[in-house]
Structure 1
């Protein structure tokens, strides 16, 4: 199949990776953030027998596969990466002989790159894109997960089911316990030192304002958590409250961020990576959702209480900082009332 030549706009939204004019596999994300021209780029597509579940279903026999090449997996955000790596670990749990090579966007944020460095010993190796197409063995299993945000199923499936499907695995073939990010417990992490004893962690900021807890309510959340738990309240970022500790300077890298969540007594956060990390360490959590149905993110997390805020106008929005959207989010948060035991809000 001849790869399709793309214009600049379609290259950035292509449901898969790209091929450069000199046959290098590239992440659309790398083109975007480096402001590089997309002239002459083609969709990698199903060229040379590469699998892409957005284009055609496939069902690999992992029992007879020894090396799996995962192209442009598993995104450039921390949350997506944790869930995507959970899918790989779930496959390796059933087929321990498999070695993964994960080809990553070169311009991914440093804190996301660090996660893959931590996870690599559990799975195989991690290589930055671009790579030459002919460097990937033709007789090996090569799976493209590039630009998964633009795959139709990403918006309709629970995220772990999406990544399993992208790897050619049916979700019901994987036990629920293997969908809870418990591989994080195998990482070597530092022990937090800034606080003594137990603490409650508040992580109010997501990757986009439309999914974040409004800044105007951060002080209220600190007060609520103190009243409920009588424990120090901590987080990452300034909140003007005498009972709050900003841990930013004590979390210089991803390993420290993971460790602070690992040792928390309780976590409160919106739809962001922190809730997936907490599930991996079995930390009780209250998670707030404004644009995504909770089942698409936390269905398999028994210690997470999801709270879905009634903002139907924002359903399915991936990112926004528009003033009108922020007003809807603020109004929904202001309408919350505390339930009696603060296992969440009602």
Structure 2
């Protein structure tokens, strides 16, 4: 089963396409096998170039990620495709067990006219059609170049687009500006946003540094510091209760004067709105995460051992990153 779950693509149960992520979350299916089918393209198995000339419908199987950050970047590729071919119908087949706050992003993209159709897996295998293309985007983490390419370049390449032909401006998540945030509550007239959390401990900014970082931000900008989680500081305000959904989270980032963040979805959202950002990277180097973000000041806090790690719970590894942060704090590098 582990071999199947690490397969660089989606899976088949009989004649239905399924997501390995759903299996990890408890779904059960009979007779699982890798999705290898003539009607479904997968760049990890057979590189291809997407032909635009007669393309009518594009279906992304297991697109475009199961985390919020990956999805922000993946949808940027769909935005690019819509600009290249305005009449294109974009259909995205999602895992059925993803977190609700991630799925909300796809519905925002649907409302913004970037995605035309959303549906959940499992779905039946397609019948080959001359003007319709299916691309399997499943399990990006287990594709060989996921750890060596910038994330935008990875998603472009695996959608059949030569990443070197795409302008940097199409790798900055500007599709987010199509989302209407006007109805979201304005939390302060002007503020700095502090987002130290991340999906893994290796990427997060350890709690012992939060108070000192908030103090530095307040001293530098003379503004209230808003953030997620509790920090004992008179000029800090926890806005978690006000950001109850993905739209309000995006709005809080878009309106910030400055963002201080870990390597998380907040970084990728800020890039979409051109918000000046300082981001700390304790795992995957910033060249693979923020290469195309001109407003982002990236700080590497990792080690040679963490350069290819997406997560780790090893105490020695986490301690080494924490010691690097402490050293940078002491030397004024943060």
Q: TM-score, normalised by structure 2?
A: 0.95
Counterparts of 2:143 and 2:102, CA distance in 1: 21
SS at match of 2:114: helix
Matching residue of 1:127: 119
Q: Is the 8 A contact 2:192 2:257 kept in 1?
A: yes
> Which segments of 5 or more consecutive residues in structure 2 lack a partner in the other structure?
none
Counterparts of 1:57 and 1:293, CA distance in 2: 26
Tell whether 2:26 aligns with 1:34. yes
Cα gap change, 1:208 to 1:302, in 2 (>3 Å)? same
Tell whether 2:269 aligns with 1:271. no
RMSD (Å) for aligned C-alpha atoms:
1.6
Matching residue of 2:59: 69
Matching residue of 1:3: none
Matching residue of 1:297: 289
Deviations 1:274-301 (A, max 9, x none): 1110010010000111111211111111
Deviations 1:11-45 (A, max 9, x none): 21111000013x111000001111536x5201012
The structural deviation recorded for 1:63 is: 2.4
> Which segments of 5 or more consecutive residues in structure 1 lack a partner in the other structure?
1-7
The structural deviation recorded for 1:190 is: 4.3
Q: Is the 8 A contact 1:267 1:283 kept in 2?
A: yes
Cα gap change, 1:245 to 1:191, in 2 (>3 Å)? farther
* Runs of 4+ with deviation above 6 angstroms: none
The structural deviation recorded for 1:181 is: 0.5
Counterparts of 1:339 and 1:198, CA distance in 2: 29
Q: Is the 8 A contact 2:187 2:252 kept in 1?
A: no
The structural deviation recorded for 1:334 is: 0.3
Q: Is the 8 A contact 1:271 1:289 kept in 2?
A: yes
Deviations 1:189-226 (A, max 9, x none): 24553633110000001100001100111111111101
2:35 corresponds, among 44, 55, 79, to: 44
Counterparts of 1:36 and 1:220, CA distance in 2: 47
Counterparts of 1:114 and 1:40, CA distance in 2: 32
Deviations 1:131-174 (A, max 9, x none): 1114x654421100011110001111000000000011011221
Tell whether 2:202 aligns with 1:210. yes
Matched length: 331
Q: TM-score, normalised by structure 1?
A: 0.92
Tell whether 2:4 aligns with 1:11. yes
Q: Is the 8 A contact 2:101 2:245 kept in 1?
A: yes
Counterparts of 2:331 and 2:273, CA distance in 1: 25
Counterparts of 2:44 and 2:70, CA distance in 1: 17
